[in-house]
Amino acid sequence: MNNTDILVIVSLLPLSALMLVLQVNPYHALVIRGILGAVAALVYAVLGAADVALTEALVGTMLSITLYAVAVRSSLVMRLGVVTEEETLLEEEMPEGFRQLLAELRTALKKYHVRLELVCYRNEEALEQALKEHDVHGTCLPSEIKDYQLITRIERLYEIFQADTTFPVSRWEEVVINKLPEPTELSLNP
């Protein structure tokens, strides 16, 4: 192989690395990461380091892509807690207002490649406890203002929903502060 062929192959490394850094969609970034690993393995093989090329192909490409895919899949989920009698909710059995809310949430989250997962609880106390214990990222409860109100404990989700949905959204901290009783002044006089 002549020097220009090696130079072309080696120039693919920074190009694919730049594409990886600039990628917005995490699934596309996984594919580009695989390409980057394959190019690196090819460079090592061309330069005569067959053992390093094999290691890069197996560990640097295949194993890391698999682990990244599992991590991306599990981290791009918003768990929304709802109160319902059933274990699971069927789309056709949901009230129209709730279906509209879910459609707005999915549209808002799709821009960030996040899936929406509904988690059912039997009562509001269990739902509130799940939010406190970080089992869910947000809750959906009936509201007087509009059919439903979202409460989230994650600031970034609050900002996304505030901008992209028509339903009222609250921060978990604000709800907790509003539930606390008013502080009473201590008086030394009877």
Average pLDDT over residues 141-160: 81
HSE-up of residue 72 (Cα within 13 Å, Cβ side): 16
Q: What is the pLDDT of residues 32-46, one digit of tens each?
A: 999 999 999 999 999
Mean pLDDT across the chain, nearest whole number? Answer: 83
Separation of alpha carbons 154 and 100, rounded Å: 22
Please say whether the dihedral angle defined by the alpha carbons of residues 138, 94, 167 and 84, taken in this order, is positive or negative.
negative
Q: Identify the residue with better confidence: 72 or 15.
A: 15
pLDDT reported for residue 17: 92
Beta bridge partners of 121: 83
- Tell me the average pLDDT across 3-8: 86
Please say if the pLDDT value at position 6 is more than 50.
yes
Tell me which residue of 97, 93, 77 sits closest to 140, measured CA to CA. Answer: 97
Partner residues linked to 81 by β-bridges: 119, 139
pLDDT digits (tens, 9 = 90+) for 55-113: 999 988 888 889 988 888 878 889 998 888 777 777 777 888 888 888 889 999 988 88
